[in-house]
Amino acid sequence: MRNMSFSLTERQLLDGSKTVTRRLGWQFLKPGDRLRAVRQSRGLKRGEHPVALGVIEVVSVCREQLNAITLSDVAREGFCREHSPSSFVCMFCRQMKCPPVAMVTRIEFRLVFKGDNV
């Protein structure tokens, strides 16, 4: 099972407020695919392993421009009170080193189960 990192939004994933994620790449996903949600998958030191947070199932996948995000999707990203669409785009661009007009993959998912026994 493929890993997907939620290092910046672990709390939102686990409390259920995050049901959508935007990623650079990931165009190969399709509804029904299952992924292991992990705390971090890159930059691990020798001997470290990803910490599993649970399993998610893809509900829908589409491509869109990052700066097309709506206020309701900011909330579905888990940032309902913390970000406007423009501040979410700025945060995403800073973290991912991409322009606001970047094409991203919008992935809607549901948390199948929490825990590290995956």
Sign, CA torsion 14/45/41/80: positive
Residue 116 has pLDDT above 80, yes or no: no
User: For the stretch 68-98, what's the b/e string if a residue is b when 16 or more beta carbons lie within 10 angstroms of its beta carbon?
Assistant: ebeeebbbbbbbeeebebeebbeebbeeeee
> What residue spans define the domains of the chain?
3-114
What is the tens place of the pLDDT at every residue in 20-43?
999 999 999 999 999 999 987 666
CATH 3.30.540.10 fits 3-114, yes or no: no
Return the pLDDT at 44. Answer: 62
Q: How many CA atoms lie less than 13 Å away from 64 in the CB half-sphere?
A: 15
Residue 75 has pLDDT above 90, yes or no: yes
**Residue 63 in contact with residue 103, Cβ under 8 Å?**
yes
